[in-house]
């Protein structure tokens, strides 16, 4: 009897993967535990090995298609062996499953004409959220792979609908929702269409969802890095003997820890019941993958790390991110995020919050600038710190207190 190749559980909370590449094709021989295909979840690529030795008899999941944990990806067996009939094949682009969609229960201002369309596969999570909020999925524009409707699309639709209901009784509509949809761009001769990668689609979904979710506010301060520069120069060779590259990122991480410990509300998430302040301090580190996008591995228990341990962890996560060796758990559980956009020369920026976190700190390029110190002109290595926070959780004053603590920790480094 042929053996089923199933989508394994790749980490806590991982319910679905995207098949990115088959390493074997139908008819190929494969050994037990030999890599059979690559899948992607949370922007992390992972190889799935063959559960047994044999011949790949049938591949059910196409490249680029999503598949839920436990879904059948392929069959492996003896050449010529019959493959059992599959009643519920995994999700694929060529044969999307269609589910009945819940219909909006309340009367809506700005309602669009109902036009039936094939909305493709709808995951149980999406269907459940749509049913709970009374959302007609025919009206939701999908941003997932091949236009698939994601959980974030439904949640964004709900938020937009709430704002429309609030204002409908007092504001005369000027334009219909169809006018608010992104304009359709048709290529002309000479244009080049670069297909979206899985990572790029995931980034797009998360960024749009974050902007729909949190009222983003930016506050900026600059820090004198003189003491940090001096400390690093005095210790980088000592760290190197332990095989650790002492980067400035380790200092920024340590300063963030000091700020989060002084102002715990920054280490939090918004919920309908109240602000959830996290006990653990797990700091995400935005890491560029070049033209493919970025990924945010998480430093777990950052408040328990010395500078040496912090630098070692930063090195490890950055190296594994760029060599595509991260595991799904490496990018989960973050409570705050650092993005060092100054690596590419940017002075300051307006980063997007990594949901469901309260804030994100952007660090600009360090430059020697003329500043006034004790009523005297001096040249110091300066850096802009850009803190973007969720205005539902923090007000300007509390956000500035946190950022000031980060600044003071860097400037008074001992």
Q: Is 410 within 8 Å of 238 (Cβ atoms)?
A: no
414: how many CB neighbours lie within 10 A of its CB?
5
Looking at the chain, the number of H-run helices and the number of E-run strands are: 8, 19
**Is 391 one of the catalytic residues?**
yes
Q: Residues 33, 76: contact at Cβ < 8 Å? A: no
Contacts of 106 (CB under 8 A, 6+ apart): 134, 165
Contact criterion met (CB below 8 Å) for 351 and 360:
yes
Give the whole-angstrom CA distance, residue 2 versus residue 390.
52
Q: Is 395 a catalytic residue?
A: yes
Q: How many Å apart are CA 328 and CA 250, to the nearest integer? A: 23
Judge contact between 365 and 342, C-beta under 8 A: yes
Secondary structure (3-state) at 331: helix
* Pairwise CA distance, residues 289 & 40, whole Å: 15
Q: Give me the DSSP letters along 99-166.
A: -PPP---S--TTPPP----------HHHHHHHHHHT--GGGPPP-SGGGPPPHHHHHHHHHHHHHHHH
CB atoms within 10 A of CB 363: 28
| DSSP 8-state symbol, 51 | S
Q: Which helix (H) or strand (E) holds 376?
A: strand 376-390
Question: 366 and 381 in contact (C-beta within 8 Å)?
Answer: yes
- List 386's β-bridge partners, or say none: 220, 362
Distance separating alpha carbons of residues 253 and 363, to the nearest angstrom = 11
Question: How many whole angstroms separate alpha carbon 213 and alpha carbon 357?
Answer: 11
Q: Taking a C-beta distance cutoff of 8 angstroms, is the pair 332, 15 a contact?
A: no
Peptide bond into 70 cis (omega under 30): no
d(CA 346, CA 366): 9
Class of residue 165 by CB neighbours under 10 A (exposed 0-12, middle 13-18, buried 19+): middle
Q: Which of 28, 196, 242, 395 is catalytic?
A: 395
Question: Among all residues, which ones are annotated catalytic?
Answer: 391, 395
């Amino acid at each position: 009897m042929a053996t089923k190749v199933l989508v394994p559980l790749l980490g806590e909370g991982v319910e679905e993967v995207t098949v990115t590449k088959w390493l074997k094709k139908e008819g190929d021989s494969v050994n037990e535990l030999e890599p059979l295909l690559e899948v992607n979840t949370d922007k992390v690529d992972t190889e799935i090995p063959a559960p047994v030795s044999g011949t790949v008899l049938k591949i059910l999941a196409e490249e680029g298609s999503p598949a839920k944990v436990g879904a059948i990806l392929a069959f492996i067996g003896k050449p010529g062996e019959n493959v059992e009939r599959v009643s519920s094949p995994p999700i694929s682009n060529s044969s999307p499953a269609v589910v009945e969609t819940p219909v909006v229960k309340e009367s809506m201002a700005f309602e669009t004409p109902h036009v039936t369309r094939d909305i493709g596969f709808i995951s149980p999570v999406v269907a459940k959220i749509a049913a709970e909020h009374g959302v007609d999925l025919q009206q939701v524009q999908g941003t997932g792979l091949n236009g698939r409707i994601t959980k974030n699309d439904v949640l964004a639709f709900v938020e937009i609908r709430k704002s429309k209901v609030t204002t409908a009784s007092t504001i005369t509509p000027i334009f219909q929702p169809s006018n608010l949809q992104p304009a359709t761009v048709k290529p002309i001769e000479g244009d080049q269409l670069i297909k979206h990668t899985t990572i790029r689609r995931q980034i797009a979904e998360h960024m749009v969802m974050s902007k729909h979710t949190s009222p983003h506010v930016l506050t900026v301060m600059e820090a004198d890095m003189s003491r940090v520069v001096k400390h690093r120069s005095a210790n980088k060779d000592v760290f190197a003997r332990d095989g650790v590259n002492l980067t400035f990122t380790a200092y920024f991480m340590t300063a963030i820890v000091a700020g989060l410990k002084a102002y715990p509300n920054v280490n939090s998430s918004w919920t309908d019941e109240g602000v959830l302040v996290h006990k653990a301090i797990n700091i995400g580190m935005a890491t560029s993958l070049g033209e493919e996008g970025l990924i945010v591995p998480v430093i777990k228990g950052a408040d328990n790390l010395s500078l040496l341990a912090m630098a070692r962890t930063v090195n490890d996560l950055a190296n594994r991110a760029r060599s595509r060796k991260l595991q799904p758990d490496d990018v989960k559980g973050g409570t705050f995020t650092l993005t060092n956009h100054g690596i590419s020369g940017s002075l300051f920026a307006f980063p997007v919050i990594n949901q469901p976190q309260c804030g994100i700190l952007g660090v600009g390029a360090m430059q020697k600038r003329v500043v006034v110190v004790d009523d005297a002109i001096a040249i110091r290595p300066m850096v802009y710190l850009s803190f973007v926070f969720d205005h539902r959780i923090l007000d300007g004053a509390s956000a500035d207190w946190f950022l000031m603590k980060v600044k003071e920790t860097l400037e008074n480094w001992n």
